[in-house]
Structure 1
Amino acid sequence: MFDIFKSMLKEEWRMHSNLFGNNGFSFFPVFIFMFTFFVSLVLPIFREIFTYTQIALGMHYLFLLLGGMVGAFGLIGREFMNRRFGQASLIAYSSRTLPVSERLIFANFLAKDIVYYFVLYVLPFIAGFALAAALIPAGNFHSPVILLTLLLTLSLSFMIGLSMVFFLSTVYAHSGKLLTSGFLAGCISLLFISGNLDSGSFYSLPSLSFFLRPSKSQFLLSSVLIIFPSALSLIFLKVDFPQAKKSFPNSFSRLCGEFGSYRYAAFVAKDILDLKRSEGGFGKLIFSFLLPAALIWTLLSALGTVLPVLNTLILFSLVLGVLSSSMYNWLTEYDIFASYACFPLRVSDMMRSKLNSYLFLNLVPFILLILLTFNKDSGILLPALLLFLSISFYMVSILVYLTGLSPSINLYNGRTFALYTFSVMPILLVNVILSMFGPFYMLVDLLLLPLAFYLLAQGFRKWDRIESPRF
């Protein structure tokens, strides 16, 4: 068993280092350490706005979502490898050729994810935070015992998120429609009951409760939330080995016809079909967008009752603009320009087509924001919508300029991720501060639009100079 575990660790490192280069990928945890350190240096300022428990809450839910994202990335590994590298495969999906059980292989896969991403994400974060806490008066966080407890509880939050997504993947393998319907109903319920939840509801996360009030019961409950879903996933594991290729009816011509004479009709139709037929299909809208949006809306609603100076709808518009940029990743995840090299197309033509598909997908958050605004405060509909559109357009322009048609790959390069973070974080911080003075201060974000258009033009020229894409 340990040999499989070691081989999976080596495989994960080699896959990432081949994709991003040894130096680029090695810098990624270093950047997380440095970024956390410099952000933590302003912790005394945060303490004037947020309490000790609120800062702890944000950290633990961040790592809960991070664990979920890592688990979700593991789920699409098979399709990603098959679409990007047809001749390659992960050890986890080679159980037919190995003289060991599928359950043993996937138990190692889960353990590998926990260890690998603990070193990649959790440890650099804690190290940066601990160094900053040692240099500044960080209140309750200054104690070495508290820092060690934080390391343990953030790790627990991370593993809870990962094991939950691993369990959901097993449910999805048995009944995708049931899981999708349940999640959609859950997201809608969260959006509408959020106003009736108090801030204390979010402190019931066992790992967070253990950090705030250490007790054996909370530690045991956290362990149960990690072990029980993982055990169920392994017991009811379902790995499909289809004997025949999938076949679909010809929908391309019909979709193109519905778009009429629209210039990018064929490209948008292809993106819709790719999204529909890829792993998870339109379920990506639920798992990768609606579910996080519902959780963030619920958190912001509870935070708004504690800090009335924060405008919940404006902050949610800001977050929604950031979340929507992930849709560009979906559209470019499996498509590579080499497949179109025989056509009279440039890389920039493909980028423009993806941006058109991105605009269509943005109708989902746009409508969601309109419904929430009318339900809560229709008076700030205009600034909320303009903020969302400005941030969404700016975020995707940064992605286009820095990553081209491979954002899911290039963002794992430490240098690229650093440039992306420093291009985005100051804008988001300024918007959070401006939101405290009034919603119509958000109109200043319209100044981002000329910058976004400039970045897009530069990005098109930059990636057109690339003669042969790497992937």
Structure 2
Amino acid sequence: MFDIFKSMIKEEWRMHSSLFGHSGFALFPVFIFLFTFFVSLVLPVFREIVTDAQIALGMHYIFLLAGGMVGAFGLMGREFMNRRFGQASLIAYSSRVLPVSERFIFANFLGKDVVYYFILYILPFVAGFALAVKFVPAGNFGASAILLTLLLTLSLSFMIGISAIFFLSTVYAHSGKILLLCLFAASFLLLHISGNLNQGTFYSLPSLSFFLVPSENQLLLSGVLILVPSALSLIFLKIDFPQAQKSFSNSFSKLCRYLGSYRYAAFVAKDSLDLKRSEGGLGKIIFSFVLPLLLVWTLLSALGKVIPALSTLTLFALVLGVLSSSMYNWLTEYDIFSSYAFLPLKASDMIKSKLNSYLILNLVPLVIFTLLTLKKDPLSLIPSLLLFLTISLYMVSVLVYLTGLSPSINLYNGKTFALYMLSVMPLLMLNIILSMFGPYYALVDLLLIPVALYILGKGFRKWDRNECRCF
């Protein structure tokens, strides 16, 4: 039965390497290693501002969220493969033709994700960190035993994230309405408690607690948070094999009438229907965006009490700008330009249509951010909104230039991801530093608008040339 696990590992590599190229994808963990190494070289500077415990907190929550994102991507794999490769599918969704149970297949699927992304993400991250501490004073992080513990606890955080998403997907498979109701309730709860949390609340994550103060109880609790949701997901696993073809009423014409007669109305209507009718539907906005966003707000609210010099609203505006750019990924996730090759369109026309849809979707984070800013500090509403809008525009312009209509694919290329990080990380760090001097320093980011428009123009011309070569 180990053959299924090995086949899934091979399948994961072949799927990614066929999309990104063998060398491009192989460079991805190398980039993570180098990025972590160079960032860790300035660890002594960070330790003048934050404690070792706060650095550890950041690491563990990053991998907790990474586990959640990997789990969500894996569970959308069937639709992704169908849209990109016709009737191709993942082994996990082929249980009808395999002489083993669906539960056994999905248990292997879960184990495959843990092993595969441990090698791809966690191992190079810890290796880069471990190499850096050989060259700089690292305090408590310098000991080999601590680094081995870090490898274990980051893996636990990652697995907690995967198992939680796997469990939520099982709840959704049985009743999407119940899940959405729970997510709405969780969103309101996060908003309610965001102003009442103390820093100790976030250190209660068992994997983080075990790293800071090794304890059998915390290790056991980490195992419970991984095994119980995973076991419940497998016990109540539900895979639908629809017998009839889905049919929908004609909503396209109605949407086009609502949007008017401007140039990209038909494309925006199509994007809206694609998002609504894909797996998860409009629930993706709640599940993949609003809930993580409110979790980030809760974390930053607590962080503001720990490090008063950092502006919670500025940090949130930066995070929101980065997260909102991911909505461009949603809009291009299942669309390929070859589907429109017979139409008198250029690649830039398709990108512009996606940007129109992107602007409409950005109303969601804009409303959320406005409400939270009015609650937190109404006087800083204007500079905070300008910061969010300019960062969002800049982020999506860099995405367009580097990845065109395939950001979900091209960003996994090691070289492209390195260029992306080099384009955005210095800017984000500069804004964090400027935020310590007051909110109105965000007005400096207005200079990003002409830069972003210039990058967009270059991106349009670049992808027009590339698509012409293809055809």
Fold match, TM over 0.5?
yes
Equivalence map 1:105-120=2 (5 Å): 105-120=105-120
Q: Is the 8 A contact 2:122 2:154 kept in 1?
A: yes
Partner SS, residue 217 of structure 1: helix
The residue type paired with residue 209 of structure 1 is S
Give me the whole-angstrom Cα distance separating, in 2, the residues matched to 1:189 and 1:141: 35
Give me the whole-angstrom Cα distance separating, in 2, the residues matched to 1:452 and 1:191: 33
Equivalence map 1:282-301=2 (5 Å): 282-301=282-301
Q: Is the 8 A contact 1:337 1:469 kept in 2?
A: no
Partner SS, residue 314 of structure 1: helix
- The CA RMSD over aligned residues, in Å, is 1.1
Aligned residue number for residue 216 of structure 2: 216
The residue type paired with residue 45 of structure 1 is V
Q: Does structure 1 residue 64 correspond to structure 2 residue 52?
A: no
Give the C-alpha shift of residue 470 in structure 1.
7.6
Give the C-alpha shift of residue 444 in structure 1.
0.5
Q: Does structure 1 residue 253 correspond to structure 2 residue 262?
A: no
Give the C-alpha shift of residue 453 in structure 1.
0.4
Equivalence map 1:76-155=2 (5 Å): 76-155=76-155
Aligned residue number for residue 303 of structure 2: 303
Aligned residue number for residue 449 of structure 2: 449
Aligned residue number for residue 169 of structure 1: 169
Give me the whole-angstrom Cα distance separating, in 1, the residues matched to 2:255 and 2:436: 45
Q: Taking structure 1 as reference, are residues 158 and 455 closer, same or farther at Cα in structure 2, changes over 3 Å only? A: same
Q: Does structure 1 residue 350 correspond to structure 2 residue 350?
A: yes
Q: Is the 8 A contact 1:153 1:210 kept in 2?
A: yes
Partner SS, residue 127 of structure 1: helix
Aligned residue number for residue 275 of structure 1: 275
Give the C-alpha shift of residue 87 in structure 1.
3.2
Give the C-alpha shift of residue 188 in structure 1.
2.5
Q: Is the 8 A contact 2:271 2:331 kept in 1?
A: yes
Give the C-alpha shift of residue 469 in structure 1.
8.7
Aligned residue number for residue 183 of structure 2: 183
Partner SS, residue 202 of structure 2: helix
Give me the whole-angstrom Cα distance separating, in 2, the residues matched to 1:384 and 1:199: 24
Give me the whole-angstrom Cα distance separating, in 1, the residues matched to 2:88 and 2:261: 40
Q: Taking structure 1 as reference, are residues 144 and 55 closer, same or farther at Cα in structure 2, changes over 3 Å only? A: same
Give me the whole-angstrom Cα distance separating, in 2, the residues matched to 1:250 and 1:188: 35
Task: Count the aligned residue pairs.
Answer: 471
Unaligned runs of 5+ in 1: none
Give me the whole-angstrom Cα distance separating, in 1, the residues matched to 2:25 and 2:307: 39
Give me the whole-angstrom Cα distance separating, in 2, the residues matched to 1:406 and 1:353: 14
Give the C-alpha shift of residue 467 in structure 1.
3.2
Give the C-alpha shift of residue 48 in structure 1.
0.6
The residue type paired with residue 270 of structure 2 is K
Moved more, 182-191 or 214-223: 182-191
Moved more, 309-318 or 351-360: 309-318
Aligned residue number for residue 377 of structure 1: 377
Q: Taking structure 1 as reference, are residues 206 and 470 closer, same or farther at Cα in structure 2, changes over 3 Å only? A: farther
The residue type paired with residue 223 of structure 2 is S
Give the C-alpha shift of residue 348 in structure 1.
0.4
Q: Is the 8 A contact 2:384 2:439 kept in 1?
A: yes
The residue type paired with residue 169 of structure 1 is S
Give the C-alpha shift of residue 261 in structure 1.
2.0
The residue type paired with residue 316 of structure 2 is F
Q: Does structure 1 residue 242 correspond to structure 2 residue 242?
A: yes
Give me the whole-angstrom Cα distance separating, in 1, the residues matched to 2:171 and 2:468: 41
Aligned residue number for residue 422 of structure 2: 422
The residue type paired with residue 446 of structure 1 is L
Aligned residue number for residue 365 of structure 1: 365
Give me the whole-angstrom Cα distance separating, in 1, the residues matched to 2:80 and 2:434: 40
Aligned residue number for residue 25 of structure 1: 25
Give me the whole-angstrom Cα distance separating, in 2, the residues matched to 1:355 and 1:333: 14
Partner SS, residue 97 of structure 2: coil
Q: Taking structure 1 as reference, are residues 5 and 47 closer, same or farther at Cα in structure 2, changes over 3 Å only? A: same
The residue type paired with residue 351 of structure 1 is I
Q: Is the 8 A contact 2:347 2:467 kept in 1?
A: no
Normalising by structure 1, report the TM-score.
Answer: 0.99
Aligned residue number for residue 412 of structure 2: 412
Give me the whole-angstrom Cα distance separating, in 2, the residues matched to 1:209 and 1:321: 31
Percent of residue pairs identical: 76
Give me the whole-angstrom Cα distance separating, in 2, the residues matched to 1:22 and 1:403: 17
Give me the whole-angstrom Cα distance separating, in 2, the residues matched to 1:26 and 1:11: 15
Give the C-alpha shift of residue 413 in structure 1.
0.4
Q: Is the 8 A contact 1:276 1:282 kept in 2?
A: yes
**Superimposed CA distance per residue, residues 51-102 of structure 1 (whole angstroms, 9 cap, x where no aligned partner):** 1111010000000000000000011100000011013111111110111111
Partner SS, residue 8 of structure 1: helix
Give me the whole-angstrom Cα distance separating, in 1, the residues matched to 2:292 and 2:403: 24
Give the C-alpha shift of residue 38 in structure 1.
0.2
Give the C-alpha shift of residue 191 in structure 1.
1.9
Q: Is the 8 A contact 2:5 2:112 kept in 1?
A: yes
**Superimposed CA distance per residue, residues 241-288 of structure 1 (whole angstroms, 9 cap, x where no aligned partner):** 101111111111111001112221111111111101111111111122
Give the C-alpha shift of residue 292 in structure 1.
1.4
Give the C-alpha shift of residue 134 in structure 1.
1.5
Give me the whole-angstrom Cα distance separating, in 1, the residues matched to 2:311 and 2:26: 39
Q: Taking structure 1 as reference, are residues 334 and 93 closer, same or farther at Cα in structure 2, changes over 3 Å only? A: same
Normalising by structure 2, report the TM-score.
Answer: 0.99
Aligned residue number for residue 197 of structure 2: 197
Q: Taking structure 1 as reference, are residues 74 and 470 closer, same or farther at Cα in structure 2, changes over 3 Å only? A: farther
Give me the whole-angstrom Cα distance separating, in 2, the residues matched to 1:168 and 1:363: 26
Give me the whole-angstrom Cα distance separating, in 2, the residues matched to 1:88 and 1:112: 19
Give me the whole-angstrom Cα distance separating, in 1, the residues matched to 2:80 and 2:349: 23
Give me the whole-angstrom Cα distance separating, in 2, the residues matched to 1:38 and 1:466: 33
Give me the whole-angstrom Cα distance separating, in 2, the residues matched to 1:186 and 1:470: 47
Aligned residue number for residue 331 of structure 2: 331
Give me the whole-angstrom Cα distance separating, in 2, the residues matched to 1:116 and 1:468: 36
Give me the whole-angstrom Cα distance separating, in 2, the residues matched to 1:421 and 1:51: 25
Partner SS, residue 294 of structure 2: helix
Give the C-alpha shift of residue 180 in structure 1.
1.3
Give me the whole-angstrom Cα distance separating, in 1, the residues matched to 2:166 and 2:16: 21
Q: Is the 8 A contact 2:401 2:458 kept in 1?
A: yes
The residue type paired with residue 148 of structure 1 is L
Q: Is the 8 A contact 1:338 1:469 kept in 2?
A: no
